[in-house]
Amino acid sequence: MAASYEYEDGGFQQQPDSAGYDPNFVPDSVKSFVVHLYRHIREKNVYEIHQMYESSFQTLSERMFKETPWPSVDAVAPYVDNDHVFCLLYREMWFRHLYARLSPTLKQRIDSWDNYCSLFQVVLHGVVNMQLPNQWLWDMVDEFVYQFQAFCQYRAKMKNKTAEEIALLKQYDQAWNVYGVLNFLQALVEKSTIIQILEREKEGLEEFTATDGYDYSGGSNVLKVLGYFSMIGLLRVHCLLGDYHTGLKCLRPIDITQQGVYTSVIGSHITTIYHYGFANLMLRRYVDAIQEFNKILLYIYKTKQYHQKSPQYEQILKKNEQMYALLAISLSLCPQVKLVEETVNSQLREKYGEKMARMQRYDDEAFALYDELFSYACPKFITPSAPSFEEPLVNYNQDAYRLQLKLFLYEVKQQQLLAGVRTFLKVYSTISLGKLANYMEVDEPTLRTILMTYKHKTHAVDSDGKITSNADVDFYIDEDMIRVVESKPAKKYGDYFLRQIVKLEGIMTDIDRIKLE
Amino acid sequence: MGKEETTQKSQLAVTVEQLIAVNPYNPDILPDLENYVNEQVSTQTYNLDANLCLLRLYQFEPERMSTPIVARILVKALMAMPAPDFSLCLFLIPERVQMEEQFKTLIVLSHYLETARFRQFWDEAAKSRHIVEVVPGFEQAIQAYAVHVLSITYQKVPRAILAEAINIEGLSLDKFLEHQVSNNGWVIEKGQGKGQLITLPCTEFNHPELKKNTADSVQLEHVTRIFPILG
């Protein structure tokens, strides 16, 4: 996953040539690293590439480049036959390391953009004949979107920009331009024909998921898999822009109810579900959000021990916490606790139990909690347009976030009376409007609007216009009587027995294999 | 939901849909998208994807934003209720633009609809005719939404409640009801001394028990897992 999202500008500005760093000095270990990596790439040895990429690069960074960048690409190029594509890949990693550990200057941000342009153009023109690990290809897309987001945040802090920086921003106005970013992702999706590949796969005409996207017949996986991950990149960019509908549309070719290439890399798996869930939360499709958060949180709970040494571990934990916060919000607005698995539920209670109880009250303190959880867990929204350099320079990096927060709290406010009504509906099977109005201390016409609001807000509309009920407690009104229908948890006996049959069969097969002496 | 397009699509609609499909992130299609909004207004059609695409271009280049077009998109989005289109659009419109008087009014209107306060809605709409009446079919679309909310809430609704929600009374309401009775299966009966009572068509939303049947079924693909064992 990308560099730390917590990264802020303005702190220390590390100059690459300070602190005794010589960009042209290539230590032996780096020499050996690039020579071997280059060889493995030429030999399409995905396993070795993956080892070097995931562990050697981290180890060397940790040992030798904790506070300085790696040697410049020009210095290492002679060891890799000046291979054009390898140099682009090396620079991509070089910048990623710089973003993660140091503070990139504006010039470096622009250079990194240029490098992505060259790299993606090479890929799009089909001259890359490599087989790269999915992890690496995911990191490219992920980092590309991250650097775009970081650039927008950086640019929006206009107040303390120097004249020199402003001149650079004006001169390189195409760098990290939102059209450029979206068009690269879109071009990767289209050029890779990944959508058609996934369609053909459904009909059994092509293999993609079964091979994790790798090409075992001598071809390259780079364009195809980059195109695949770009769909997730588009989902994320659209969420950053507040365009949840379009974001989900970009993801639609991937069936997230199934395992897929997106689950082959933990970072991609989490990013997909985090944004999918968030977008559904904003679209009021709470059940969809709850179900997917539940699944991924359970998955992380069961597998996080295997990622402890991974460079992504911190990010995994961070997103894990954020998704618990989003789950707490979703369940407060739509208390379908039965959709949540027991392990996840007890984690949730531990983290947010007390807050969730207070969120049910819908007083000022409750709103403050919705605000707090949303602000903690939401994506880092961006304003994509360039600032006006003529007007007085103001910071606008918070604008996008504030708008999304405001609209979200507006929605919460519209639902504030629903929790009260829910409490009463739970304890009655029938009750007259007059009586309930009395209990709730409102007049009858107001109660009718509250009940209709309850119905409207608990019914989600999907992208095809189909309406589904998300209500935990449902009712209907017959003239002046409210009749309550509590939706009992649908016990899935069928599914349970089927799974047990398969399990038993497996055990019996195992037993059959045992030969007693 | 907005009116479904039944007649042939216009040339512009076809062109715009192709443009969005081929290159949704192209600033050059902005004028076409604006024309398409106007066409949606005059022909009573609706295309959320195209409108979001336009709002996105405005978001990228705020200096090209046309507020009358944005207002039309928002009125169209209100007409698409119960779908959340109005919020979807607001998410993309900068806060300072939302501060303009006409947008504040539309946000209030949306709030009344979202919280099913139809009386207040119609009062407010009457005061803001200049904004909403630019878009033909507005009243009918909101009435359809009101009927939708009523029919997921009520099995039987008193006539007065219906009248308030759809803002039709007296003879016009009689005519409206007559139409619904013959076309949509509404039934009118005598209430308990308080005038007419209208039985709305039965759905899984006002008869929640209807939905139950599917809950404990097993999906075929799950059953297929044990086929090898049974074989």
CATH, residue B214:
1.10.10
Q: Out of A60-69, A195-204, B74-83, B216-225, pick the least confident.
A: B216-225
Nearest one of A248, A226, A223, A225 to A235, comparing CA atoms: A248
Between the alpha carbon of residue A470 and those of residues A147, A259, A462, the distances in Å are 38, 25, 12
Q: Is the pLDDT of residue A396 over 50?
A: yes
Looking at per-residue pLDDT, the higher value among A434 and A276 belongs to: A276
pLDDT at A144: 96
Phi, psi of A228 (to 5 degrees): -60, -50
Only one residue has tokens 């066409």, namely: B39
Q: Is the pLDDT of residue A11 over 70?
A: no
Phi, psi of A338 (to 5 degrees): -65, -15
Nearest one of A338, A333, A365, A335 to A453, comparing CA atoms: A333
Q: Out of A311-320, A435-444, A493-502, pick the least confident.
A: A493-502
pLDDT at A392: 67
Only one residue has tokens 């996105």, namely: B56
Q: Out of A425-429, A449-453, B35-39, pick the least confident.
A: A425-429
User: Which residues, at least 6 apart from A351, have a Cβ–Cβ distance to it below 8 Å?
Assistant: A321, A324, A328
| Domain C-terminal end among B108, B135, B162 | B135
Single-letter residue type at A361: R
Residue B4 in any domain: the answer is no
Only one residue has tokens 């280049």, namely: B61
Percent of chain A scored above 90 by pLDDT?
38
Structure tokens at B154: 């009520």
Structure tokens at A469: 């009920």
The whole-number average pLDDT for the span A411-439 is 87
A476 three-state secondary structure: strand
User: Which residues, at least 6 apart from A389, have a Cβ–Cβ distance to it below 8 Å?
Assistant: A166, A169, A170
Looking at per-residue pLDDT, the higher value among A6 and A360 belongs to: A360
pLDDT at A276: 96
pLDDT at A5: 39
Identify the helix (H) or strand (E) that includes residue A52: none
Q: Label residues A21-47 b or e (16+ Cβ within 10 Å = b).
A: bebeebeeebeebbebbbebbeebebe
Q: Are residues B167 and B205 in the same domain?
A: yes
Residue B58 in any domain: the answer is yes
The one-character DSSP state at A54 is: I
Structure tokens at A447: 């109660």
Q: Is the pLDDT of residue A13 over 50?
A: no
- B12-31 pLDDT per residue, tens: 888 888 888 888 898 999 99
Identify the helix (H) or strand (E) that includes residue A459: strand A459-461
Using alpha carbons only, give the angle A68, A41, A141 rounded to the nearest 5 degrees. Answer: 60
pLDDT at B217: 60
Residue B28 in any domain: the answer is yes
Q: A-chain residues within 8 Å CB-CB of B25?
A: 179, 182-183, 186
Q: Are residues B114 and B81 in the same domain?
A: yes
Q: Are residues B157 and B118 in the same domain?
A: no
Q: Are residues B18 and B130 in the same domain?
A: yes
Please, what is the end-to-end C-alpha distance for chain A in angstroms?
51
Whether the predicted interface score ipTM is above 0.90: no
Residue A514: pLDDT band (50, 70, 90) is confident
Split into its structural domains, chain B has a count of 2
Q: Which of B56, B111, B218 sits opposite A498 (nearest CB)?
A: B218
Residues 92-131 of B with CB under 8 A from A: 92, 94-95, 111, 114-119
Residue A3: pLDDT band (50, 70, 90) is very low
CATH, residue B33:
1.25.40.250
Q: Are residues B27 and B91 in the same domain?
A: yes
Residue B3 in any domain: the answer is no
CA A390 to centroid of chain Cα atoms: 36
- Contact call for residues A142 and A272 (beta carbons, < 8 A): no
Question: Would you say how long chain A is, in residues?
Answer: 517
Q: A-chain residues within 8 Å CB-CB of B208?
A: 469, 474-476, 485, 487
pLDDT at A7: 40
Q: Are residues B130 and B19 in the same domain?
A: yes
Contact: B115, A453; criterion CB under 8 Å: yes
pLDDT at A408: 95
- Contact call for residues B53 and B33 (beta carbons, < 8 A): yes
- A292-312 pLDDT per residue, tens: 999 999 999 988 888 887 778
The whole-number average pLDDT for the span B36-44 is 92
The whole-number average pLDDT for the span A47-72 is 89
Q: Does B189 touch chain A (CB under 8 A)?
A: no
pLDDT at B77: 95
Nearest one of A141, A136, A129, A175 to A155, comparing CA atoms: A175
pLDDT at B196: 83
| Domain C-terminal end among B135, B166, B185 | B135
- Contact call for residues A99 and A3 (beta carbons, < 8 A): yes
Q: Are residues B74 and B37 in the same domain?
A: yes
Q: Is the pLDDT of residue A357 over 80?
A: yes
Residue B1 in any domain: the answer is no
- B193-209 pLDDT per residue, tens: 667 888 888 777 777 66
CA B171 to centroid of chain Cα atoms: 26
Nearest CA in chain A to B64: A385
Only one residue has tokens 């709030």, namely: B111
In angstroms, the CA A324 to CA A98 distance is: 31
Q: Are residues B181 and B119 in the same domain?
A: no
pLDDT at A264: 87
Residue B110: pLDDT band (50, 70, 90) is very high
In angstroms, the CA B88 to CA B50 distance is: 13
Q: Are residues B69 and B176 in the same domain?
A: no
Phi, psi of A54 (to 5 degrees): -80, -40
pLDDT at A467: 84
Q: Is the pLDDT of residue A44 over 90?
A: no
Contact: B208, A469; criterion CB under 8 Å: yes
CB pairs under 8 A between A and B: 151
Q: Which of A246, A476, A493 sits opposite B207 (nearest CB)?
A: A476
Judge residue A138's burial from the number of C-beta atoms within 10 Å of its C-beta, 0-12 exposed, 13-18 middle, 19 or more buried: buried
The whole-number average pLDDT for the span A216-234 is 89
Residue B126: other Cβ atoms inside 10 A:
10
Nearest CA in chain B to A445: B161
A2 three-state secondary structure: coil
Nearest one of A147, A155, A138, A72 to A116, comparing CA atoms: A147
Q: Is the pLDDT of residue B104 over 90?
A: yes
pLDDT at A201: 83
In angstroms, the CA A95 to CA A109 distance is: 8
Query: In Å, how far is B176's CA from the nearest CA of chain A?
Result: 20
Residue B8: pLDDT band (50, 70, 90) is low
Domain that holds residue B117: 12-135
Percent of chain A scored above 70 by pLDDT?
94
Mean pLDDT score across all residues of chain A: 86
Only one residue has tokens 């990693």, namely: A93
Residue B164 in any domain: the answer is yes
Nearest CA in chain A to B205: A469
Looking at per-residue pLDDT, the higher value among B153 and A490 belongs to: B153
In angstroms, the CA A187 to CA A126 distance is: 12
CA A412 to centroid of chain Cα atoms: 23
Q: Are residues B110 and B218 in the same domain?
A: no
Nearest CA in chain B to A178: B60
Q: Which of A186, A384, A487 sits opposite B59 (nearest CB)?
A: A384
- A468-492 pLDDT per residue, tens: 888 888 888 888 888 888 666 555 6
Residue B145 in any domain: the answer is no
Q: Is the pLDDT of residue A109 over 90?
A: yes
Residue B17 in any domain: the answer is yes
Query: In Å, how far is A381's CA from the nearest CA of chain B?
Result: 11
3-state percent breakdown (helix, strand, coil) of chain A, nearest 5: 65, 5, 30
Q: Are residues B47 and B129 in the same domain?
A: yes
- A332-346 pLDDT per residue, tens: 988 888 888 888 888
Q: Are residues B201 and B120 in the same domain?
A: no
pTM: 0.88
Nearest one of A175, A174, A116 to A141, comparing CA atoms: A116
Q: Is the pLDDT of residue A15 over 50?
A: no
